[in-house]
Amino acid sequence: MAKKLTLILLLVSAISFSQKDSINPLEEIVLKGSFSPILNSGYTVEVISDSILKSNNQSLGNLLQEHANLYFKQNGNGMVSSIALRGTNASQTGVYWNGIAINSSLNGQTDFNTLTANSFDEVEIRKGGASVLLGSGAVGGAINLRDKVIFRDKKEANLQLGLGSYQSYSSQLYGLISNDNIFIKLGLGGATSENDYPYLNNSLSNKNGQFKNYNINGVFAYKFNDKNTLTYYNSFIDNDRNTSRTITSASNAKLLNFNSRNLLDWKYLANRFSSSLKLAYLTEEFTYFFDKDESKFSDGKSFNLISKYDFTYYLNKTILINAGLEFKKEQGSGTSIPEHEQNTFNTYLLFHHQPFTKWNYNLSIRKANSSVFEIPFIYAIDLKYDINTQLILKSAFSTNYRTPTFNDLYWEPGGNPELKSEESKSAEIGLVYNPSFLKFQITSYYINSKNLIQWKPVNGTFWQPQNIQNVNNYGLEFLLTAEKKLDKHKIKLKIQYDYTFSEDASISKQLIYVPFHKANSILSYVYGKWNFNYYLQYTGKVFTTTSNTESLNAYSLSNLDLNRSFFKNKMQLAFRINNLFDKNYQSVAYRPMPNRNYTLNINLKI
C-alpha cells in the first residue's frame, strides 16, 4: 500500500509541473508548521490570538471553553481538567507546544488546569484526524501552544495582578527585548487559592481544595542572517494542589506535578526550500499523597528526548513537498511502573498541489516503527474548493492511530504489554460562507475507531487494559461570527454549536462524559476605552455510567466581564463575574463547581 501511494504522489507531481497559478507564501509554512492552513486545506484551523490570551489569567482550559466551545471534564475547580475533541477522549486529542507533542507518556493526557492562558502568544486548534501530520493521539484533533518570535526593535514589560473570591490571587510578569537579530522573552507567574467555595443546595463546602500553580516561560532567539535562525524555548510548571472532597466523601489527599520542557529549534529559510531541526527534552513528575499528613504516596516520572527534522520544498509555484523525520526516546518509571524504555521512529510525506486557481489539495502518508508495539501505516487526503469569492467547500479523509501509554503497558498490577495501537478512520465535509461582515461555517464528520484500549475487570479486584472497544463518532459543528462598527461603537457576536454522537458499538450506548449538545456565544461591545463581554455556555446532559442509566443534568453558565483602559492603554482594569446566575452544576459526578464568584485584575504595560 505504501509503495502504491508513493508512486501516485510522484505521478501527480510529474504531471503537474507545468501549472503556473500562485499559492500561499512560504513564510506562512515556516512559521506555522503542521498547523498551517495550507497544509490543512480541508480542515478547520482556529486561532486564539494573543490579545485574548494575554488579557486573561484564568486556566487555559476555562478560556478555551469560552472562546472555542471545547469540552473539558473537570474534577472540580482547579483540579485535573481533560479535553475531548469530537467525542474522543483526552489521550486521543494531541496537545503540542511549539510543534512538539507534550501529552504525558504515563497516561497520554494533558491537564489544562496546570496551563495558564497568558503564558502563550497563540493557541492553534485543528479539528479532525491529524495523525498523519502530527503522530500518535491526534484522532479527534490537536492543539498547539505557540510562542511567536518577531525580530524588530521593541522593548516592553507587562505586569498583571489579580484577586478574586475564595482568597484567590494571581500574578504574571512578562518582558520582551528584541531587535533585528536578537529576541528575548521571559515570563513568570503564579496563582494560589483557598478554593473553599460552598456547595449550592448543600451544607458542605469544597474542603481540601487549595492549589498553587507556578510557571516560568522563556524564548531566546538569534538571527544569524536572512536564512538562519536559532531559537531556544523553555517552560517550567510547578503545580501543588490538594484534591477536593466530593459530595459523598471527604478527602485529605494531595497531588504534586512538575513539568519541564526544553526545545532548541534551528530554522533555515531560502527561496524554495525551508527546514526546521528541533531537539527537545521533556520531563514530567508526579507525587500523589493518599493522606497529605502521612508519608504514604505513589509517584511516577518520565523523560522524553525528541529530535525532529521537517522541510518544505517548492517544486514550482503550484506544488510543494513537506516531509520529515522524527525520533522519540521515552523512559518511564514509578511506584506502580517498573522502569521501561521505548523508541519510536516516524517518517511522513505531504504533497500539496493547486492545479487551478479555485482549488487545492493535500495527499499525505506516515509510517512509524516502535521498539515495543506495531504502528499502522496511515494516509490522508484533504481538499479546498473556492466555489466563489464568499463560499468555500472543504473535505477530508484520514486514517489515524494512538499508541498505548506506559500506564497501559506496564502498570502493576494490570498492565498489558500485548496491547496493540488504536486505529481509526475519519471523514468530514464543510462549507464556509464569508462575506465582509459575517462568517458562517458548518462541518459534518464521522470517525470509526477500533481496538480502543479499555480497562476492564478481569475478576472482582483485578483490572487490565484490552483492545476491545469499537466506537463510532459523528457530529455537526456550527460557527457564526458577525461584526459591526458604527463610529466609536463596535459590536461583535460569536456563536458555536456542536452536536456529538459517540457510541460504544458493542452496547449501542453513548460514551460517558460526552455531551450530545455543546454550545457557546460571546457578545462583545466596545465603546472608546470601555469593553464589555458576555459569555454564555451550554453543556448538555452527559451519562456517567456505560449503561447510560445515570447522568448529569444539562446546564447553562453565564460569565460577564467589564474592562477599561487608562493612560493611553498603559493600564487596564478588568472586573469579572463568573457563574452570573449562581447555577448549581457539576462537570464530573459528585464534584460541584463554584457558585457565583468575582475577580478583579489590573494589567500594567511599560
Distant-in-sequence, close-in-space partners of 250: CB < 8 Å, separation ≥ 6:
207, 208
Quote the CA–CA distance of 505 and 501 in Å, as a whole number: 12
CATH class held by domain 2-605: mainly beta
Instruction: Return the H-helix or E-strand segment holding 13.
Output: helix 2-15
Confidence (pLDDT) at 7: 37
Confidence (pLDDT) at 396: 97
pLDDT tens-digit readout, 501-542: 999 988 899 999 999 999 999 999 999 899 999 999 999 999
pLDDT at 30 over 60: no
Confidence (pLDDT) at 173: 94
Question: Contact at 8 Å (CB) between 80 and 73?
Answer: no
Instruction: Return the H-helix or E-strand segment holding 552.
Output: strand 551-552
The average pLDDT across 269-280 equals 94
Confidence (pLDDT) at 426: 96
pLDDT at 486 over 90: no
pLDDT at 29 over 90: no
Distant-in-sequence, close-in-space partners of 449: CB < 8 Å, separation ≥ 6:
88, 92, 139, 422, 423, 424, 470, 471, 472, 473
Quote the CA–CA distance of 402 and 426 in Å, as a whole number: 14
The percent of residues above 70 in pLDDT, for the chain, comes to: 95
Quote the CA–CA distance of 504 and 85 in Å, as a whole number: 16
User: Of the candidates 499, 380, 439, 520, which has an alpha carbon nearest to the alpha carbon of residue 5?
Assistant: 380
The average pLDDT across 245-268 equals 96
Instruction: Return the H-helix or E-strand segment holding 229.
Output: strand 228-242
pLDDT at 306 over 60: yes
Quote the CA–CA distance of 214 and 137 in Å, as a whole number: 27
pLDDT at 69 over 90: yes
Instruction: Return the H-helix or E-strand segment holding 30.
Output: helix 26-32
Quote the CA–CA distance of 15 and 255 in Å, as a whole number: 59
Say how far residue 131 (Cα) sits from the centre of its chain: 14
Locate 273 and state its grid cell.
526550500
Question: Hey, which bits of 243-336 come out as E strands?
Answer: 254-269, 273-289, 297-316, 319-334
The string of DSSP codes covering 48-65 is: E-HHHHTT--SBHHHHHH
Amino acid (1-letter code) at residue 570: K
Question: Contact at 8 Å (CB) between 361 and 408?
Answer: no
User: Of the candidates 146, 142, 100, 141, which has an alpha carbon nearest to the alpha carbon of residue 122?
Assistant: 146
Cis check: omega of the bond before 404, within 30 degrees of 0: no
Instruction: Return the H-helix or E-strand segment holding 454.
Output: strand 438-457
Quote the CA–CA distance of 100 and 91 in Å, as a whole number: 15
User: Of the candidates 12, 40, 11, which has an alpha carbon nearest to the alpha carbon of residue 24?
Assistant: 40
pLDDT tens-digit readout, 335-380: 999 999 999 999 999 999 999 999 999 999 999 999 998 999 999 9
Confidence (pLDDT) at 4: 40
Confidence (pLDDT) at 125: 95
Quote the CA–CA distance of 42 and 45 in Å, as a whole number: 10
pLDDT tens-digit readout, 177-231: 999 999 999 999 999 999 999 999 989 999 999 999 999 999 999 999 999 999 9
Q: How confident is the model at residue 32 (pLDDT cuts 50, 70, 90)?
A: very low
The average pLDDT across 316-324 equals 94
Buried b vs exposed e over 507-537: b needs ≥16 C-beta within 10 Å? Answer: eebbbbbbbbebbbbbebeeeeeebebebbb
pLDDT at 387 over 80: yes
The average pLDDT across 138-158 equals 95
Quote the CA–CA distance of 15 and 127 in Å, as a whole number: 32
Beta bridge partners of 431: 393, 442
Quote the CA–CA distance of 311 and 269 in Å, as a whole number: 10
Say how far residue 547 (Cα) sits from the centre of its chain: 30
Taken as a whole, the chain contains a residue count of 606
pLDDT at 172 over 90: yes
The average pLDDT across 133-145 equals 94
For the chain, the straight-line distance linking the first and the last C-alpha, in angstroms and rounded, comes to 58
The domains of the chain are located at 2-605
Question: Contact at 8 Å (CB) between 457 and 465?
Answer: no
Confidence (pLDDT) at 460: 65
Buried b vs exposed e over 273-296: b needs ≥16 C-beta within 10 Å? Answer: ebbbbbbbebebbbbbbeeeeeee
Average pLDDT for the chain:
91
Q: Is 209 helix (H, G, I), strand (E, B) or coil?
A: coil
Q: How confident is the model at residue 568 (pLDDT cuts 50, 70, 90)?
A: confident
Q: How confident is the model at residue 51 (pLDDT cuts 50, 70, 90)?
A: confident
Quote the CA–CA distance of 231 and 183 in Å, as a whole number: 9
pLDDT tens-digit readout, 414-457: 889 999 999 999 999 999 999 888 999 999 999 999 999 988 77
Q: What is the dihedral of CA 204, 209, 210, 211, to 10 degrees?
A: -160
Locate 306 and state its grid cell.
525528541
User: Of the candidates 287, 232, 283, which has an alpha carbon nearest to the alpha carbon of residue 259?
Assistant: 283
> Long-range contact list for 459-466, CB < 8 A, 24+ apart?
462/413, 462/414, 463/414, 464/414, 464/415, 464/416, 465/404, 465/408, 465/414, 465/415, 465/416, 465/419, 466/416, 466/419
